Amino acid sequence: MTQLKKTIGFIGLGVMGKSMAGNLLKAGYEVRVYTRTKEKADEVISQGATWDAAPKEIARKADVIISMVGYPRDVEEIYFGEDGLIEHGREGTYLIDMTTSTPSLAMEIAEKAKKKGMAALDAPVSGGDIGARDAKLTIMVGGESAAFEAVKPIFDQLGSNVVHQGPAGSGQHTKMCNQIAIASNMIGVTEAISYAKKAGLDPERVLQSISSGSAGSWSLSNLVPRMVKGDFEPGFYIKHFIKDMKIALDEAERMGMDAPGLSLSKSLYEDLAEAGEENSGTQALYKHYN
């Protein structure tokens, strides 16, 4: 591997990616960006990022390339497509996919990257728009230890909890653990606050009592205040959460594991998506009860 430099390519500037790219700019990195809709890049371009018209252009210029897109099919296109990173990337490049995707795809990227003299890491995140904005994401990393150590200074500009979980695919498996825990928790916190409202209590006062006790969770402290204010703007899209839960259920089935809590949560969120809420934040589960 060549010596790590400071030119970072960033592909995907959605709710979280935009803040992540901005934090890298603030840290002094040269950042080159690409997203299918150029207007989504206007804010980070105004902060000093350089626009490239295709992934292959970033592949030719960046030493480290981060992708943060929506679905596994988007990851496949970026890495394996005609303009893809594997085909056009340079030897010594570090490829970091921070999309929540499938473990098998992460392993395929790592294998093909290695054949081209590149190193690939799967590094999905948790923390939503707030964590991305405040550079306090949890980052779960799979891949070779040497590559992880080489790019850890970059991870440290994006998150406050960065853990190398093991070989390629391990980051994605860890993210599935995260999503499984959140799935049932979202049902619990939403039902609790809905109960409070129907019992004639002040939901905000109830939150004061239960958020710091044994019922406390990130979702309770950060998403319930949005629920009670009627704020359903996405910190994390329902459509992406459904995608993650489908991946987790597929992996659980492959391992012979039953996941009834996850299955119930997925069905509730699918009902919301069918009702037109797929682009709302996950806190819109509150609408199922009210």
Enzyme catalytic residues: 175
3-state secondary structure of 27: coil
159 forms bridges with which residues in the sheet? Answer: 137
Strands 7-11, 30-34: parallel, antiparallel or unpaired by DSSP? parallel
Dihedral over Cα of 263, 266, 272, 275: its sign: negative
Dihedral over Cα of 194, 199, 202, 204: its sign: negative
Place of tokens 């990227």: 109
Provide the b/e sequence for 166-205 (b: ≥16 CB within 10 Å): eebbbbbbbbbebbbbbbebbbebbebbbebbeeeeebee
Strands 137-142, 125-126: parallel, antiparallel or unpaired by DSSP? antiparallel
Spatial distance between the Cα atoms of 61 and 40, rounded to a whole number of angstroms: 21
Strands 64-67, 7-11: parallel, antiparallel or unpaired by DSSP? parallel
| Strand (E) or helix (H) holding 74 | helix 72-80
